[in-house]
Amino acid sequence: MAIGLPGCAQVGGIRAKDRQVMTVAGPIDASALGMTLSHEHLFADLRPYAEQISTPIPLGGDVVEVILPHLQEIRRLGCRSVIDCTATTLGRNPALIKRLSEASGLQMLTVTGAYVAAGGRFVPPYVLDETDEELAARWIGEWRHGIGDTRIRPGLIKLGIEGDPLSATERKVLLAGARTHLETGLVIASHTGPWAQVEPGRNARCAFAQLDLLEGAGVDPSAWIWVHAQNEVRGDLHVQAAGRGAWVSFDGFRPGQENGYVAMIGRMRDEGLLERVLVSQDAGWYNAGQPRGGEFKPFHPIFTALIPALRKGGFDESQMQMLFVHNPARAFALRTSEWISGDT
Ligand SMILES: [Zn+2]
């Protein structure tokens, strides 16, 4: 299990093996995370925020029936943990995630934070009105007391940022993320840039602007995940971000993209930066308001298509362990000296 990973031994004076991850069922040892899909979605409500509030959609009775078989399938394929990255105002539903975690036997994480990308369609008024300090107080409150009345605590800070340059709201939200991170030890994962491959360098500019701001606020780059880095077509910029110590997340894998993913990940390996790479699918998405959630994207392709392609591409078992076991454990481990007991 333990392989010698640089940066694994000591983070903030805390030994990696003594660090914890906050799942929806409470804290666990980071080393217990196991094979992990680091960026997926179970359930989402993708209607504009105002509409979500004015016309709430009751959770359909078929939600568990639709999602659970997909989770059972990857459990059989060796998966042990799923990070649900559904942002706060995109239908985040901690109670449902916990229910699916219990039913599937998979460990799961949910988020705190704010999503101000997608042209602002998911931005609630309080995100515009409050200061970074007030937003951080909200998110730290979720960490301390649980989300709403669920007593379920977030395991990461999920932000949605797309500006080039960053907007004033994006800067504020990032500062709130920095404050929350420094108080809680939660990692910050930023959806970065437009959700598309745009001109070369565009997404990286958004990524580096975030990294600069966060570093200036006292956040170590290793506490920040560049989500959807695959949308940046320039591999040298992935290398640059990982070289600064950030996590580079290639998280939109679909069957048919094997060659592209093996090449992107292979470049990071060749540069000696595999220890900063996360790989996932951004799949799932039971979509509220659609019959049976619309077209649910299965979680198995990492196991049935990408991992075999990586093996064929020369990745050995220790590199596979690094990508899918050790890196997620290091990325989502709490950067805090506080030891958290199971009772919230
Ligand atoms: Zn996502």
Taking only the tens place, the pLDDT of each residue in 1-15 is: 333 333 333 444 445
Residue of 236, 192, 234 lying closest to 211 (CA atoms): 192
**85 CA distance to ligand 1 centroid (A)?**
6
Please tell me the distance from the alpha carbon of residue 116 to that of residue 98, in angstroms, as a whole number: 26
Cα–ligand 1 centroid distance for 250 (angstroms): 11
How remote is the CA of residue 126 from the centroid of ligand 1, in Å?
A: 23
Ligand 1 centroid from CA 84, angstroms: 8
Low-confidence residues of the chain, pLDDT below 50?
A: 1-14, 344
C-alpha distances (whole Å) from 26 to each of 33, 111, 143, 238, 342 are 12, 13, 11, 33, 6
Q: How far is the CA of 190 from the centre of ligand 1 (A)?
A: 10
Q: What is the pLDDT of residues 170-203, one digit of tens each?
A: 999 999 999 999 999 999 999 999 877 689 999 9
Rounded-to-integer distance, Cα 266 and Cα 253, Å: 15
Instruction: Find the 161 Cα to ligand 1 centroid distance in Å.
Output: 12
Burial 39-62 (b: 16+ CB within 10 A, else e): bbbbbbbbbbbeebeeeeeebbee
pLDDT tens digits for range 108-140: 999 999 999 999 999 999 999 999 999 999 999
Q: Cα(331) to centroid of ligand 1, in Å?
A: 16
Residue-level pLDDT at 343? 55
User: Three-state SS across the chain?
Assistant: CCCCCCCCCEECCEEHHHCEEEECCEEEEHHHCCCEEEEEEEEECCCCHHHHHHCCCCCCCCHHHHHHHHHHHHHHCCCCEEEECCCCCCCCCHHHHHHHHHHHCCEEECEECCECCHHHCCCCHHHHHCCHHHHHHHHHHHHHHCCCCCCCCCCEEEEEECCCCCCHHHHHHHHHHHHHHHHHCCCEEEEECCCCCCCCCHHHHHHHHHHHHHHHCCCCHHHEEEECHHHCCCHHHHHHHHHCCCEEEECCCCCCCHHHHHHHHHHHHHCCCHHHEEECCCCEEEECCCHHHCCCECCCHHHHHHHHHHHHCCCCHHHHHHHHHHHHHHHHCCCCCCCCCCCC
What domains sit in the chain, N to C, each tagged with a CATH number?
32-332 (3.20.20.140)
184 CB burial (10 A radius; 0-12, 13-18, 19+): buried
CA of 86 to the centre of ligand 1 (A): 6
Give the predicted TM-score (pTM) of the model. Answer: 0.94
- pLDDT confidence of residue 108: 98
- Between the CA of 13 and the centroid of ligand 1 the distance, in Å, is 32
Q: How far is the CA of 282 from the centre of ligand 1 (A)?
A: 5
Residue 248: which of 270, 225, 268 has the closest Cα? 225
